Amino acid sequence: MTALDEIKIGGLGASRKRVEDNRFIRGKGNYTDDIVLPGMLHMEILRSPLAHARIVSIDTSRAWRIPGVHLVLTGEMMATRNLAWMPTLSYDTQAVLATDKVRFQGQEVACVIADDPYIAKDACEAIDVEYEPLPAIVNPEQALADGAPVIRDDKEGQDSNVIFNWEVGDAAGTERAFAQADKTSRLRLHYPRSHPSPIECCGSIADFNRATSKLTVYMTTQAPHIIRAAVALVAELPEHMIRIISPDIGGGFGNKVPVYPGYVCSILASILLECPVKWIEDKSGNLISTGFARDIYLDGELALRSDGKILGVRMHVDSDHGAFFSDAQPSKFKIGLLHSAFACYNIPAGHITARGTYTNKAPGGVAYRCSFRVTEAMFFQERMIQAAASDLGMDQAEFRRINLVRDDQFPFRTPFGFLTDSGQYAKCLDVGLKAVGYEDFRRRQAEAKARGRLLGLGISTMTEPLGAGNSREYDILGIKMFDSADLKVHMTGKAILRTGAKTQGQGHETTWAQIVAHELGIPAEDVVVEEGDTDTAPFGMGTYASRSTPVAGAAVAMVSRKIRAKARKLAAHLLEVSEEDVEWELGRFYVRSAPGRGVTIQECAMAAYSNMPDGMEPGLENTAYYDPPNLTWPFAVYIVTVEVDPETGVWDVLNMVAVDDCGVRINPMIVEGQIMGGLTEAYAMANMQFITFDAEGNCVGSNYMDYLLPTAWETPGYELHSEVVTPSPHHPIGAKGVGECAAVGGPAAFVNAVMDAIADTGVRNIDMPLLPDRVWEAITKRHDVSGAPPVRSDD
């Protein structure tokens, strides 16, 4: 017997088909809405039609009289149990059900629990609420204006709409860099509010059992253990009596990280009624009230030397958080990891100031397929890089090459204090430029221009921090960020693995088993992976910010190594040699001096239950908690070519090339799927997604007729490259995160391409989405086009 063939057993590098798809493509997934419990009632939420208004009165008497109604909850009732307000993940408070005022359109005002959802919905409409309208604030400029109404007048001492002022970097050093610059390049823009829009909306089924005092909640959460802790603290229930089960999830993208009022109300209703209560959000409810992303304004400047070297960067951002500051992000960083901007460039000095404001919009700031504002950081960075190259009259690719961090400079300290781990940035850029036919395209572009056609090429290069913690620097509400894996190898060598992460479509059931196969030689098909049940999975911080592979994935490797260490002792016992004389090859231990004498990992597993040496604890199982020494830093180059129609402003993608270096790929097919999905979301943001607010604070984009998701019809094709592999030096298997890279780096490539096509107009910026009328306005009127709310009447 010899070492196993790693690809054949579905180990590292195998494009193993996704095991979870067996049930998904047969319609056998088990989502929250599929779960039916005996005696279950249904909950619906009454939402505010106004963005800002004082509540004069709420009369629920008509609703109570409707047959089939069991309970009507209002903020006043919640307040008697100290549950009208709840803490957010960013040390703010958020109304569960409104008591004094409503602060955004769609805010939760009351709930009805009834025999079925239709009765509950009808009863919601029978609740009479009298509102006294107040002026609505829909952007930071209005929020900061003199005399603006204070949205959060519920908070003692809050006398303005400012949430925080935060800064990072070296103000004096940056000032000096700008004093020495030959040229300063400035860009102002808005990254519009967008919505992660998972196909499955949010929902929960709370099931409180009075006899056992146990509360079981099935819910659509990306972070079940954090929810368990939150329920224990907010509802003051004993944590061991709370079980959160996150079944199959139909997409999360950050939308399913926060704690929503619907979860809290269904839990309270179940406790009061002593029966299961199900709440399933509808699409409009999801689109107008749950975790928005982005909505942030940049005023950015680069200090440039005339030879193309960037000397310094200065950024001021104003972020619009809506009515409650409920971002889920490391508590040290008020504006998330926005300061990861420019991490792939060697820039000596930088300074960022950030200001957060309340507005009359739903809480925002969730990390939509993004590590806490990294998407905004990379978009600002790459738009500023393009503007700076144009201002210097330099070639876009050359300007990047001059400033990218060189391979021999790692680990590299960025201007804002991060330590990037590894990369081959220039090589990735070369691969991308070659694939897109850069020189040839520039020639064709010039020829086309002579005939009145507008071709453009956009580049986006970026590295981003994936895998929070380490626990020294990263915590959410004081809970340190790390992750975990628990592996039980049964006596026949089959195994069950549980982690603190929670897949929402990323394929953890497939890829985690591949890591076990790589470490232990147990075929991936012999390992079942379970996540999302707090009674069985080890504690973890959940899945968002592409942290699963860097943290939980590392824990899987580490727990497998613990199992291998014990199996080695068992092998020595079976082979009757000392442990030092035992060697390992995939799937098998053998005697160093007699390689033909060996035992398989499965034989070791059997011995762990039937023939262990004297004094050894029986069994073959273990748990690992992994606290990463650093974040992983994947690198990517995205290059897009487009043609813009000068008559209509419509633009078409001609080609898109993606070069992703995410270190070792566990499953190349799944990685490609992640990149294609991310590029499609990037395209949507650049091209069509438009959720905004009118002057009264009405949310425009509360359905899929207005908020567009790209279908196969309009989505362009992508050419993916995987030839550059720089393993992470500190991750146990050299893998870096990848899930969000394309959504993070992609938007700038599309926008840069359109701006390149219309460069002759002298226009510096069109805010996303680059709708045809905006592009046409820029071409014909030759001025920048802003997309900041309130929405214009012609949009």
Give me 221's structure tokens. 């959460």
Whether 386 contacts 460, CB under 8 Å: no
Residue 65 bears catalytic tag: no
Residues 6+ apart with CB under 8 A from 217: 204, 205, 206, 207, 227, 231, 242, 243, 244, 245, 263, 266, 267
Give me 40's structure tokens. 């279950």
Q: Does 735 bind ligand CDP (CB under 6 A)?
A: yes
Q: How many residues bind ligand CDP (CB under 6 A)?
A: 24
> Smallest gap, in angstroms, from Cβ of residue 544 to ligand CDP?
7
In the shown chain, the binding pattern of residues 74 to 113 toward ligand CDP, with x for contact by CB under 6 A and - for none, equals ----------------------------------------
Q: Does 769 bind ligand CDP (CB under 6 A)?
A: no
**Residue closer to ligand CDP, measured from CB, 400 or 665:** 665
Give me 537's structure tokens. 């999975």
> Smallest gap, in angstroms, from Cβ of residue 181 to ligand CDP?
38
> Smallest gap, in angstroms, from Cβ of residue 433 to ligand CDP?
24
Catalytic member of 16, 369, 547, 588? 369
User: How far is residue 596 CA from its own chain's centroid?
Assistant: 49
Catalytic member of 531, 672, 681, 740? 740
Q: Does 256 bind ligand CDP (CB under 6 A)?
A: no
Whether 223 contacts 272, CB under 8 Å: no
* Options 220, 359, 511, 641; binder of ligand CDP; rule CB under 6 A: 511
> Smallest gap, in angstroms, from Cβ of residue 767 to ligand CDP?
28
Whether 566 contacts 498, CB under 8 Å: no
Q: Hey, which residues between 124 and 163 contact ligand CDP (CB under 6 A)?
A: none
In the shown chain, the binding pattern of residues 490 to 509 toward ligand CDP, with x for contact by CB under 6 A and - for none, equals ----------------xxx-
Count other Cβ atoms within 10 Å, centred on residue 165.
10
Q: Does 738 bind ligand CDP (CB under 6 A)?
A: yes
Catalytic member of 105, 142, 222, 689? 222
As a whole number of angstroms, the distance between CA 428 and CA 421 comes to 16
Whether 191 contacts 293, CB under 8 Å: no
Whether 542 contacts 257, CB under 8 Å: yes
Q: Hey, which residues between 650 and 669 contact ligand CDP (CB under 6 A)?
A: 662-667
Residue 370 bears catalytic tag: yes
Whether 115 contacts 68, CB under 8 Å: yes
> Smallest gap, in angstroms, from Cβ of residue 258 to ligand CDP?
17
DSSP for 712-777 reads TTTPPP-EEE-------SSSTT-B---TTHHHHHHHHHHHHHHHHHTGGGT---BPSS--HHHHHH
Residue 222 bears catalytic tag: yes
Type of residue at 246? S
* Options 737, 746, 747, 769; binder of ligand CDP; rule CB under 6 A: 737
**Residue closer to ligand CDP, measured from CB, 664 or 709:** 664
Alpha-helix runs per DSSP H in 542-641: 554-575, 601-610
Report residue 603: phi and psi, to 5°: -65, -35
Catalytic member of 111, 202, 275, 370? 370
> Smallest gap, in angstroms, from Cβ of residue 682 to ligand CDP?
16
Q: Is the peptide bond before 532 cis (omega within 30 degrees of 0)?
A: no
> Smallest gap, in angstroms, from Cβ of residue 744 to ligand CDP?
11
Residue 202 bears catalytic tag: no
**Residue closer to ligand CDP, measured from CB, 215 or 735:** 735
Q: Hey, which residues between 540 and 559 contact ligand CDP (CB under 6 A)?
A: 543, 546-549, 553
Q: Which stretch binds ligand CDP (CB under 6 A): 40-48, 590-598, 648-656, 734-742?
A: 734-742
Catalytic residue ranges: 222, 369-370, 740
By CB under 6 A, name the binding residues for ligand CDP: 506-508, 511, 543, 546-549, 553, 662-667, 670-671, 674, 735-739
